[in-house]
A and B are shown apart, each in its own frame.
Chain A
Amino acid sequence: MKFRRIYILWALTALFLVGLIFYPRLVNLQPYWVLVGMTALFYAILASSWSLLAGYTGQFSFAHMAFMGLGTYAAGILIRDMGFAPWQATIGGVLITGVVGLIIGYLCLRLRAVYLALFTIAFAEIFRLVVKAEVKFTGGPNGLELPTYTFPGWLQNLLRTIVPFWDANVYIPAYYTMAFLFVAALLFMFLLVRSRFGIFFRAVREDEEAAAALGVHVVNTRVLAFVVSSMIAGFAGIVFHHFIGLIVPDQMQIGRMSLIIAMAVIGGSQNLIGAALGAIFIHFSLEWLQQIPLPTAVLQHLLFLNDWGFSVDLHAGVLRTNAWRMVGFGLLLMLTLRFWQNGLISPIIDWLARREAVESVAQRFQAERDMDAVDDVQAIGSQAEAGNPQEPTS
C-alpha cells in the first residue's frame, strides 16, 4: 500500500483525541492545569465559531464575547429570578442569544461587511457597560453567580466507572464536559460547512451578485451564519461559567475579544480546526509566558524594564510580563495578517489533507510541451530534407 500524506493527518487526529482524553492524567490531576486545559477548550470553541463567521462568510463580529456573556447572564437570571433548572436555563440562554443575534443580524447584514463590524463593536462595549451598571439586576462589577450542573445519578455512576479519577477534583467533570462540547461543536460546524449551507456561505463571500443570481438568499445566508456562530458562543459561555460559578462583566471586555480574534487568525480563520488549535496553542503559551524564569544574573541587568511596566522579580528569579505577552500576540496577529493570511496552522492541515495527484497539472503541461518540441524538431528535420525550410509556428 502506498504511503499517503492523509495518513499523517489521521495519526495526528488520533493522537490529539487521545491527548484530549488523557490530558488530566498527563498533568497529574493538578486542579490548576486541568482548569487551564478546560479554559483552552472554551477559547477553542469561541475561536472556531468566530472563524465560522469570519472565514466562511467574510463578516466580522466583534461582539462574540458579548454574545457569550449575554447567553450566560440570561441563563443566570433565568435561574435566579424565574426558578429554572440549570439545564433548562442553558437552553433558554442559547435561545435568547439566538434571538438577539437574529435582530442584530437583520439590522446589519443587509449592508456591507463593515457595518456589522462597526455595530457589533459598539454593541459589545455598551452591553458590557450596562451590565456593569445594572447592579440590582446583574450583580454589577462583582458578577453574577451561577449554580454548577448536577449530573443525574445513573450518569454520574457510569462516568465514575469509566473515569476512575472522576472525583479527584472539581475541575475534572468540568474538563470532560467541555471536551465533549468541544468535539460536538467542531463536528457540528464541520458538517455545517460541508453541507450545502457551507457552499452558500462561501459563494456569498466570493461574489454576492453571482450567488444571488443563482438563487442564494444573501441576507438570510449571512444571518444564519451569524446566528449559529453567536449561539455556539453563548452555549460555550453558559456551560463554562456554570462550572466556574461566576460571570463578571470584564469577561466581555474588548481585550478578550481581540485575543479570540488573534487565536483564530494565527491558527487560520479559513479553517475551523486551525482556529481551534490556534486557540489551544495561544492559551497555553499565555500561561507559560506569564512568568519567564531567568537567572538572577540576567535579571539584574533587566531591572530597567520595571520602568516600562514589566516586573522583574529578583527574589523569585522571574520576569513577569502580564501586559507585554499580549503585546507580543498583537504583533504576531498583525504580522500573520500581513504575511501569512491563511494563518500559521491551517496551511499545514490543508497540505496534509490535500489529495496527492498521480501527476500534477504542471507536470502534464511540461510533458505535453516536450512532446510538441519533439514534433517540431521532427517537422523541421523532415522539411529540411524536403528542401523547404520554414519557421516552426509554436
Chain B
Amino acid sequence: MWPLPDVLLHAMHFHMWLDALFKFQITGTYIVRLILEGLLIGVIYALMALGLTLIFSVLNIVSFAHGEFYMIGGYVVYAILHHYKGFPGLLAIVVAALVTFVIGAVFERLFLQPMAKGQVERPSEYAILITFGLSFFLQFVMLGIMGPFPKKAPRFWSFPKIDLGFIRTTKTTLFLGNIPLSGGRIFAAIIALLALAAVLWFMYRTWTGWALQAVSQDRNAAAVVGINPLNMNTLAFGMGAMLAGLAGAVLVTVFSWVPWVGVPASAKSFVIIVLGGMGSIPGSLVGGLILGVVESLGTGLFPDPARAQAYRDVFGLVIFALVLWLKPTGLFGRKL
C-alpha cells in the first residue's frame, strides 16, 4: 500500500483530536480561556471588518488593499515609538489613524472617483484590480522603507496593581481566577472597543453618518436631498482605511510586523464580511467575534502544538468555504 501522506492520516485518525483533549488535560478552564482570548482578538477583527463593510456599503466595492492599511497603521506606531522615546502611545495610535485616513482618501480621490463619475470602463473589474494594485504598491514601498526583518513596537502601557481576589493583575497580565490573559491583547481590545463605539455613534447619531447611510441606501435620492455622493465616497474609503490602520496600530505591540503582515489580516476580514453578509454592520461585528473564537478554539485544541499556529488561518478558510457553499448571503445579508 502507498504510504499515506501525513495530512490524510490526520483526517482519518480523527480520534487523535479527542486524545489531545486528555493529553493536554484540556479542562473547562482551558476552554473558557480560549474563548476569552478569541473574543479579545475578535473585537479587533470586527474593527477591521467594519472598515471593509463601510467601504462596501457606500462605494459598492471590496478593497483588496485593506490589509495594507492595517500594516501601515502598525508601522506608523512602530516608527514613532522607535524614533521618539517617551512619545505617548495613544497619541501615536491617533497619528496612525490620521495617516491611514489620508492615504485612503487621497487614493480614493485619484483612482476611485473616476470610477464613480463613469470615466472608467468595466467599473467592477477595475475596482478589484486597482485596489489590488494599491496593495502591491504599498507592500513594496514599506518593504523599501522598513526592510524585510520583523519589527515589534515597545510596550507603552502597564496595568495598575489590582488584587480583588478573583481579578488580579501583574504589570503585563490579567488573571481571572486562574486564567491568565495577555495584557497587550486586552489593551488592544479596549482601544478597539472604544473605536467601534465611536464609529457606531458617528454612523447612527451624526448628520454625516446619516448622510453616509443615505448614500449607501440610494445614491440618487441622497444627491437629490443635497448630499454629495462623491464626498461621501472619499469619507467612507478614508474611514475604512482608518479602521484597518487602527487595528494595526493597536496590534503592533502584540505581534511582530513585516511588510506582508496585512495579507492574512485582509484574508480574515474577507472571511468576516462574507460570513456576516456583505455590507451588514451587525454582521461584521458578530462575524468578527465568531471568527476570533473559532480560530482560538481550533488552534488551542489542535493536536500538534508545533503546527497549530500555521493552521490558525485554515479555520477561517473552512468557514469561508462553508458559507459560500451553504448560505452565500451570509448571516445578516439581504441581497447578493
Contact = CB atoms under 8 A, between A and B. Distances in A.
Interface of A: 54, 58, 60, 62, 77, 81-82, 107-108, 110-115, 117-119, 121-123, 125-126, 129-130, 132-134, 136-137, 253-255, 258-259, 261-262, 265, 308-310, 323-324, 326-327, 330-331, 333-334, 337-338, 341
Contact of A309 (B126, B146, B307): B146
B324 interface: yes
Contact of B121 (A133, A262, A341): A341
A114 B114 contact: no
Nearest to B126: A337
Contacts of A58: 122, 125
A337 B7 contact: no
Contacts of A111: 324, 328, 336
A308 B128 contact: no
A122 B260 contact: no
B274 A118 contact: yes
A212 to B, nearest CB: 16
Interface of B: 2-3, 5-7, 61-62, 64, 111, 114, 120-122, 124-126, 128-130, 132-137, 139-141, 143-147, 260, 263-264, 266-267, 270-271, 274, 307, 309-311, 313-314, 316-317, 320-321, 324-325, 328, 336
B144 A338 contact: no
Given A121-B267, A137-B7, 10 more contacts: A107-B324, A136-B6, A308-B144, A309-B144, A324-B140, A330-B140, A330-B141, A337-B133, A338-B120, A341-B126
B121 A254 contact: no
Contacts of A54: 125
A337 B107 CA distance: 14
B267 A125 contact: yes
A334 B58 CA distance: 22
Contact of A333 (B64, B133, B270, B310): B133
B28 to A, nearest CB: 29
A125 B139 CA distance: 15
Nearest to B136: A258
Contacts of B124: 112-114
A262 B130 CA distance: 11
Contacts of A309: 143-147
Contacts of B328: 110-111, 115
A45 to B, nearest CB: 21
B144 A324 contact: yes
5 contacts: A82-B3, A107-B324, A117-B64, A121-B64, A137-B5
A115 B263 CA distance: 17
Contacts of A81: 2-3, 5
Nearest to B322: A107
B121 A77 contact: no
Given A261-B132, A337-B129, A125 B324 contact: no
Contacts of B129: 60, 261, 265, 337
Contacts of A341: 120-122, 126
A112 B124 CA distance: 10
Contacts of A117: 62, 64, 128, 132
Contact of B130 (A108, A323, A324, A338): A338
Given A126-B267, A254-B260, A330 B133 contact: yes
Which residue, A110, A113, A323, has most C-beta atoms of chain B within 10 A? A323
B128 A114 contact: yes
Contacts of A82: 2-3
Contacts of A255: 136, 139-140, 260
B298 to A, nearest CB: 13
Nearest to B56: A114
Contacts of B271: 122
Nearest to A77: B5
Contacts of A136: 6
A338 B109 CA distance: 12
Contact of B310 (A113, A122, A132, A334): A132
B5 A334 contact: no
Given A81-B5, A261-B129, A129 B310 contact: yes
A35 to B, nearest CB: 24
Nearest to B274: A118
Given A110-B328, A330-B133, A126 B122 contact: no
A130 B310 contact: yes
A118 B3 CA distance: 35
Contacts of B264: 125-126, 129
A107 B274 CA distance: 13
Contacts of B134: 334
Contacts of B336: 111-112
A323 B126 contact: no
A122 B262 CA distance: 12
B324 A258 contact: no
B324 A133 contact: no
B324 A108 contact: yes
Of A60, A111, A121, A136, most buried by chain B (CB within 10 Å of CB) is: A121
A323 B140 contact: yes
Which of A77, A113, A327, A341 has the most C-beta atoms of chain B within 10 angstroms of its own C-beta?
A: A327
Nearest to A330: B137
A326 B264 CA distance: 21
Given A308-B145, A330-B136, A122 B2 contact: no
A107 B140 contact: no
Contact of B137 (A77, A130, A259, A334): A334
B324 to A, nearest CB: 5
Nearest to A305: B144
Nearest to A123: B317
A113 to B, nearest CB: 6
Contacts of B132: 60, 62, 117, 258, 261
A126 B317 contact: yes
B335 to A, nearest CB: 11
A274 B320 CA distance: 35
Contact of A121 (B125, B146, B270, B307): B270
Specify which of B61, B128, B270, B311 lies most central, judged by the most chain A CB atoms within 10 Å of its CB.
Answer: B128
Nearest to B121: A341
A54 B61 CA distance: 17
A258 B135 contact: yes
B248 to A, nearest CB: 17
